[in-house]
Homo-oligomer: A and B are copies of this chain.
Amino acid sequence: DEVFRNLFKETTQHLKEVFQLPEGYHIAFTASATEIWERTLQNLVLDKSFHLVNGAFSKKFFEFSKDLKLNSEAVIKEFGQPIQQSDLNSIPRETELIALTHNETSTGAMLLAEDLEFVRRQYPNQLISLDIVSSAPSVKIDLNQVDSAYFSVQKCFGLPAGLGVWIYNDRCIEKFKEVHSKKTTGTYHSLGTLHEFALKNQTPETPNVLGIYLLNEVLKDLIRKGLETVRRESIYKSTLLYTTIERHAELSPFITSKIHRSVTTIVANIPNSKQLIDKFEKKNMIIGAGYGSYSDKQIRIANFPTHSKEQIEFLVDELENI
């Protein structure tokens, strides 16, 4: 109804403002970023995508391509290694879509803006898909350089899980049409159907309306506060955290290359993570364990806009006292 159409319109306009989307970029809502992995491969790839894999999430996306019986390929880096220009030179020319992760949540490695620009220059004919799940909008990313970008709202937006945001451009629509004419692209959440409804400020199914409403409220807050301020504060907090970790006798940053260190998910090595996590839990501070097999050897500290400077300063003091 009209109330929902207005909410859809307002929320997508705020998203376009926050991400400074140029003409020809559109927004659709899904249930999760995980869903967008599936829809991307199903709707934008006929035969072959190429994945830059350097952690658990980029790996999962690549694995989806096998579930869908595509002939996709990947560069698979060691866990924690950042993607570098040397990884981006050998992408096969027949690749239809290049999948990049801006911030690998599992390792805390970030992609450099200049490397993203490099991919765009080198592969003007391929679609570029960028996972911005755990860094948007805390880190400025030039979405002009990509054709598709996506996130879920439970990271930097601090909202309950259950909503994915898909940003896609007209080149994606063109590619979808080609794929759709040759194979099955799904049903209610094909990019074509999502786009058709989005043009009317609607969704194909009854969506997570509460999630969209809350996202719009957070976007208004972010715009009011100013993205510049949010981003400056994010860097201030991450700098504090990395400095403390570097100086600390028991801690060391997992990502050794300073320029590739994530602003939003700070990962540190530690001999026994559980002890430290328990200690902080008693002080009502939740620190994450390392991902997967790194769970007892690493900690992961989230640095999202909801985490205030004061909280991080307090956390840093407590870390220093160990």
Contact = CB atoms under 8 A, between A and B. Distances in A.
Interface stretch (A113-121, A206-214, A228-236): A206-214
B35 A67 contact: no
Contacts of A31: 30-32, 35, 162, 205, 208
Interface string A149-167: 0001010000011110000
Nearest to A161: B206
A248 to B, nearest CB: 26
Nearest to A39: B187
A154 B211 CA distance: 14
A190 to B, nearest CB: 7
Contact of A64 (B35, B161, B187): B187
Contact of A210 (B30, B67, B160, B204): B160
A285 interface: no
Given A67-B187, A162-B211, A187-B68, A152 B35 contact: no
Interface string A29-44: 0111011011001000
Interface residues of A, number: 34
A211 B185 CA distance: 28
B162 A207 contact: yes
A35 B162 contact: no
Nearest to A38: B187
Interface in A195-248: 204-211
Contact of A206 (B154, B206, B207, B211): B154
A211 B214 CA distance: 14
A69 interface: yes
A184 interface: yes
A186 interface: yes
A38 B206 contact: no
Given A68-B184, A69-B184, A204 B160 contact: no
A162 B208 contact: yes
Contacts of A186: 38, 67-68
A21 to B, nearest CB: 25
Interface of A: 30-32, 34-35, 37-38, 41, 63-64, 67-69, 152, 154, 160-163, 184-190, 204-211
